Structure 1
Amino acid sequence: MPLHRHRSGTTRRSPLATGAALLAALALPLTLPGAATAAGADGSAAPPARGTARMGQGVVEHDGQGGLPKDSRVVQTEGVDVSSHQGTVAWQSLWNSGVKWAYVKATEGTYYKNPYFTQQYNGSYAIGMIRGAYHFATPDTTSGAAQANHFVDNGGGWSRDGKTLPGVLDIEWNPYGASCYGLGQAAMVGWIRDFTTTYRARTGRDAVIYTATSWWKECTGDNAGFGATNPLWVARYDTTVGELPAGWPVHTMWQYTSTGPIVGDHNRFNGALDRVQALANG
């Protein structure tokens, strides 16, 4: 709340009146951009505005924020993911810090496109990063095929230029309602299959699946049917990757924190930079 200085000659309030006004002001709710502005019927916070969901948002709430990864003898390559939450991104600073790849939120459902997408997607490319786009899934709004087409039509495509990673299906906790979007496990698996099949038909690439093991178990029954085709990007904010969802013997990427040292969620690619390039090239 802004404070205003009084010029000399203005009317002063009595100390009691000023104190009462201050107490009244402190009682007002503080509203931050993107925050819920009303409480639900049960007293819980209202869901955020549609379109504001971002990768890993549910991980902090459901799985917590653990420590940073331990050093490993396995070569890993640092990456970042961003959305409109980060606004205009200082890519040079990220590059200087050692970040070599990036994913940018392009779309959500069939109703949203990231207004910062062009700056974020082209900016990461221009600085030298290998980059790709991701889609935040809302399986309760439209079909997997409809959302895959919306994604491809609005930045989620792929080209064999050595700098473009395959698109990502971000499938995780629902920030707007029930964790599994009101779908049973079989229906959720069918929705994911609808998205990934359509994405492959449109681009010639298998989409990367971003998820958390605990969500995958709850909402798909720990389905093992995607590990042979779709690279895994696992979210776990702790010092180790931990248990992977069924069907994936190894992970391709690991989102290990949502509190990066500069901006965005930070990730490690399971391999050296040449393996990132290999994924880009298909």
Structure 2
Amino acid sequence: MALQRASTDADDPDRASSLLPTPMTMPSILPRRSSARVGIVAAFLLGASLSFPAAGASSHGDGFAGSSGEAAITIARTTTRSGVGPTIAGVDVSHWQGTVDWTKVAEAGKRFVFLKATDDFDYTDPTFQTNRGGARANGLLVGAYHFARPDPSPGDAREEARHFVSVADPQPGDLLPVLDMETSRGLNQDELTRWARVWVAEVRALTGVTPFVYTSPYGWLTRTGDTVALARDGAPLWVAHWGVSSPTVPAQDWDGHGWVVWQHTSTGHVRGIVGNVDLDRLAGERLGRIVIRRLSLEVDGGAGRVTSLPQGFGCDSSCARSVDPDTTVTLTAVPDAGAYFTGWTGACTGAEPTCTIQMRADRAVGARFVTDITPPTATVSVPGTFGGSMGAAFDENVRGVTPWNVVLRAGGSRVAVDRVCRSAAGPTLPCDATTLRSVRLTPQDPLVPGGDYVAVVNPGAGASPVTDRVGNAAGTVARSFQAPASVEQSQSPVRKFGTWHAVRTAPASGGTYAVAGDTGAGIWMPFDGTGVDLITVTGPNRGRAQISVDGERLPTVDLYASVRTFGVALRVDGLPDRAHTVRIVATGRARSTSSGRSIAIDRIDVLG
């Protein structure tokens, strides 16, 4: 007696046949597969002891996904995930399916297919290329699998991996490659685990992507001891578990990652395929999660390189790499010495040196570098007024601006200033930014009339220099200037105290002069020189004034005149040529013929 499938609806793409005890004749196209698989399932269902083929007993090349029959066995020692959720339908085939009509398979709603490509170290499935071309032509996404035949000979895992890659040649747009683990051929659990890890690592090294592992829960437990090593290596799981509503997941729920593809039956019917066929489900609703992606880089300028995390995706010219789907890749632009990075194009944008992309599709990125061997040049402008500012403008972006390398000095000392730094476009930036084009220094106090100043960029003397983005230091630029020596009474260097009022009149130096009538009202002003001319307005209502220099009183002066007179100079000279302070104060006294006691100041001119 034999077991035969009682067909339900041959056009139902996802419906598996039930197993009933009736006479049967196996289809001539699949003699080996059908008899072996049905026999194993029958033994399991009838409670008989299972006896799988001995290691290496199968004929060369006859292996296929599920050929061990162990996917029919349910065990209790592994994790069963509750529910399945939305899935996408696919199939897997080998030469055992014979000629496949891929147009009908696509019309039956199948979206993807895994094809057997290789077996052992030298066997190639004779239908692989034909099946791949037909499936692709009909819009199915295609992946390839290798039926493993491990043995203890040195280098066996690498040899099988290289044979697989040479035949399957997984490329962007293909499904991730697969290692079909259904035999051990005398290797113990640790040896087989090492063999599988070597195979996966070799394929990753050759292709850039991480292969699936195909296994049943029972097979993984018995052959590897339910190891999580492959899951932790990043290999996704294609689990084979038939006749259940949701699959049992080995290796502690595949180390918490669960299954990605589930082969849920070996006895499916699909239009376009004669006889039994494996039916598969992809977890979720996005095929892209198992599609190999391409990351392309174009590095221009010949003056830098792009590095990556994970490593292996960067280069210094043009390159393209296959990438695991959904991988997050961080790219970093690294200019050569004497060069700088100007910006990204494509999937990365902007000019920041680091860019992060997620490989949910193929990505193309450009990086541009420019060689720079010319140091930046600074142009220094100086203020024309007492409250003005000095500026330093650069002919390229610079960095490293500090209070010690763009400075305003007086008498060898730094002048306290407020700094404003700007980009080439004009907006203000922090002065420690790396894309500065100008710096403006505004003295916190007015310039000292007659004072000697120097505005300096990169003065040296231990100060770190202003540089361009590649480290070329700007040359030292120093511009000397003198603060104005003529000061109107209304300008900032002249400080008034007491009550003053302005008199507008054309004859005055600046169109106005200032008058104070209260005793003790006065002005003071710092200056740098050998003396000053205090330009006053005398008249019949003027009183006496007390002048002092650096706190030393000079003889009182009388500002009385019978008629109002402009431009009268009260000169103080013969002083050392350095910084001084002059002061003039109303005494509140006047000669008897004066009609008042006021004093007036129009302008102060610094001598020297």
TM-score, normalized by length of structure 1? 0.74
Partner of 1:233: 238
1:165 aligns with 2:175: yes
Measured at CA, do residues 268 and 61 of structure 1 come closer, stay the same or move farther in structure 2, by a change above 3 Å? closer
Say whether the 8 Å CA contact 1:217–1:245 is kept in structure 2. yes
Deviation at 1:35, TM superposition (A): 4.2
1:116 aligns with 2:127: yes
Deviation at 1:140, TM superposition (A): 2.2
- Among candidates 214, 221, 224, match of residue 218 of structure 2: 214
Partner of 1:148: 161
Q: Which amino acid aligns with 2:207?
A: T
1:76 aligns with 2:91: no
Classify the secondary structure of the residue corresponding to 1:132: strand
Instruction: Give the distance between the partners of 1:100 and 1:149, measured in 2 at CA.
Output: 28
Classify the secondary structure of the residue corresponding to 1:255: strand
Say whether the 8 Å CA contact 1:59–1:236 is kept in structure 2. no
Instruction: Give the distance between the partners of 1:169 and 1:78, measured in 2 at CA.
Output: 20
Instruction: Give the distance between the partners of 1:73 and 1:48, measured in 2 at CA.
Output: 34
Unaligned runs of 5+ in 2: 1-27, 34-51, 75-82, 294-324, 326-608
Instruction: Give the distance between the partners of 1:107 and 1:245, measured in 2 at CA.
Output: 25
Q: Greater helix percent: which structure?
A: 1
Say whether the 8 Å CA contact 2:247–2:262 is kept in structure 1. no
Structure 1 residue runs of 4 or more that deviate by more than 2 Å after TM superposition? 31-36, 44-49, 59-64, 239-243
Say whether the 8 Å CA contact 1:80–1:266 is kept in structure 2. yes
Deviation at 1:61, TM superposition (A): 8.1
Classify the secondary structure of the residue corresponding to 1:259: strand
Measured at CA, do residues 86 and 186 of structure 1 come closer, stay the same or move farther in structure 2, by a change above 3 Å? same
Say whether the 8 Å CA contact 2:263–2:279 is kept in structure 1. yes
Number of matched pairs: 228
Measured at CA, do residues 33 and 215 of structure 1 come closer, stay the same or move farther in structure 2, by a change above 3 Å? closer
- Among candidates 181, 185, 195, match of residue 191 of structure 1: 195
TM-score, normalized by length of structure 2? 0.36
Unaligned runs of 5+ in 1: 1-30, 37-43, 65-71, 175-179
Partner of 1:40: none
Partner of 1:5: none
Instruction: Give the distance between the partners of 2:187 and 2:229, measured in 1 at CA.
Output: 18
Deviation at 1:242, TM superposition (A): 3.2
Deviation at 1:158, TM superposition (A): 2.1
Q: Greater strand percent: which structure?
A: 2
- Quick one: higher RCO (CA 8 Å, sep 6+), 1 or 2? 1
Q: Deviations over 1:82-108 (max 9, x none)?
A: 001012211111111110000100000
Say whether the 8 Å CA contact 1:106–1:151 is kept in structure 2. yes
- Among candidates 248, 269, 274, match of residue 261 of structure 1: 269
Instruction: Give the distance between the partners of 1:61 and 1:214, measured in 2 at CA.
Output: 7
| Bigger-Rg structure (1/2) | 2
Deviation at 1:63, TM superposition (A): 2.6
Instruction: Give the distance between the partners of 2:178 and 2:210, measured in 1 at CA.
Output: 9
Partner of 2:381: none
Measured at CA, do residues 101 and 168 of structure 1 come closer, stay the same or move farther in structure 2, by a change above 3 Å? same
Deviation at 1:243, TM superposition (A): 2.4
Question: Superposition RMSD on alpha carbons, in Å?
Answer: 2.5
Q: Deviations over 1:243-263 (max 9, x none)?
A: 211151310000011111123
Partner of 1:50: 60
Partner of 1:126: 137
Equivalent residue runs for 1:87-98 within 5 Å = 87-98=98-109
Partner of 2:78: none
